[in-house]
Amino acid sequence: MSTFSETAWLCLAVPAALGGIVLYKLKKSPGQVGRKVVCLAGLWAGAYLLSLSLFWGWVLFPLSCFLMCAYLSGHEFLPVDQKAVLITGGDSRFGHALSKYLDELGFTVFVGVLNEKGPGAEELRRTCSKRVSVLQMDITNPQQIKDAHSKVVEKVQNRGLWAVVNNAGIIGLPADGELIPMTNYKQCMAVNFFGAVEVTKAFLPLLRKSKGRLVNISGMAGGVPMEKLAAYSSSKAALTMFSAVMRQELSKWGVKVSVIQPGGFKTSIAGTSEMWDKLEQDILDNLTPEVLEDYGQDYILEQRDYLKFISRCNNIDMSPVLLDIRHAVSAKSPFAFYSPGAMAYPMLCFVSFSPTGIFDYFSKKLHHFRGSMPKALTKQA
């Protein structure tokens, strides 16, 4: 009985101690660190609750401690020390908020915007310090990337560029993959993938010189299949894989590569109502009579309601994303993957480890959109 009590107390004390460390660290750490350490604490507690033998308990104990130390050791932030960061897509939301956040932390920030005379660019000039430079930078325009590169080189000179954050992206109008025009597939790839690759290639010599950071903003949809996002998801999946390969190749240069896969945040990536009108018309103009007859115009015009549906479910608080990007830019040992957002990490794990049939079933339940059915299927019913 005495042995049992000592074992029970040990098994309960270890997760309590780990939890205390987490509470202490969480004041300054991104949620990613806290979640993983809590998982390690849960692993140890679960060993006791599942009545594993004392032997396995002692195996899990040093393993948990080792993994905890490995994660927390990378939490320490490097000094800002006039480090320079380039951010694309700074006109609004993630890129806009990140530019302000890094400016407050003391970084020199170069913000690439789609329209240097737009309201987002003007607000940055008005509210940020002189450390922030707003650059005209349509990432699908090679000449604008070259011009931005020249301006960055001129300003940083021998200091080099510490980090590039590829944030610019578009989503288009969500619709069934068969309905999305090829122009929309190509546009998503041009912005979300090829644009990020071209920016990366242009600024990599500067990153190699500083042994800095490459941070690519992908998305949960780049790892989790989601209906109506075939064009967007494919481009983000390409960016995620590109990042993984670059992480391996650039390690010999001392450059660290991270991917941010946010899930469930409200952004302006979907565009405006006027853009939706144009995309709807593009869909209708590019469909064959047979496909239009099978789906029906009413079903097609209802697709924009999906954007309103997911917008209502999304979080307006972007701080988890900003904290994870800061960790990727500043931590001594940044993670390869970050998944800010309530559902992002569980869903990425679920799709990786569950059988396809089970994932598809629960995915339909979790992301069920109560829209109408295609016209041909309605007739069959």
Convert the pLDDT of each residue in 127-140 to its tens digit.
Answer: 999 999 999 999 99
Find the largest Cα–Cα distance for the chain. 79
Last residue of a domain, one of 53, 74, 95: 74
244 with 99, same domain?
yes
**Mean pLDDT, residues 193-210:** 97
Q: Is the pLDDT of residue 266 over 90?
A: no
Listed range (163-167, 234-238, 318-322) with the worst mean pLDDT: 318-322
176 with 36, same domain?
no
190 with 337, same domain?
yes
pLDDT at 27: 44
26 with 122, same domain?
no
The half-sphere exposure of 124 on its side-chain side, counting CA atoms within 13 A, is 31
The count of structural domains within the chain is 2
111 with 222, same domain?
yes
pLDDT at 169: 93
Bridge partners of residue 166, in order along the sequence: 216
pLDDT, tens digit (0-9, with 9 covering 90-100), for 330-374: 999 999 999 998 888 888 998 999 999 998 988 777 666 556 789
Where helices occur in 189-272 by DSSP H, the ranges are 196-210, 230-250
52 with 92, same domain?
no
E strand intervals along 114-191: 132-136, 163-166
> What is the β-pairing status of strands 108-113 and 213-217?
unpaired
pLDDT, tens digit (0-9, with 9 covering 90-100), for 4-51: 555 555 555 555 555 555 444 444 445 555 555 555 555 555 555 555
206 with 337, same domain?
yes
Could you give the angle at the alpha carbon of 193 between the alpha carbons of 230 and 342, nearest 5°?
A: 60
Is residue 232 part of the annotated active site? The answer reads yes
Listed range (6-20, 197-211, 240-254) with the worst mean pLDDT: 6-20
- Based on C-alpha coordinates, what's the Rg of the chain? 23
pLDDT, tens digit (0-9, with 9 covering 90-100), for 323-332: 999 999 999 9
Candidates 82, 88, 68, 84; CA nearest to 17 is: 68
Determine which one of 232, 306, 338, 345 is catalytic: 232
* Cβ count near 232 (within 10 Å): 27
Domain that holds residue 47: 6-74
Buried b (16+ CB within 10 A) or exposed e, 73-103: eebeeeeeeebbbbbbbbbbbbbbbbbbbbb
pLDDT at 64: 66
Residues 6+ apart with CB under 8 A from 379: none
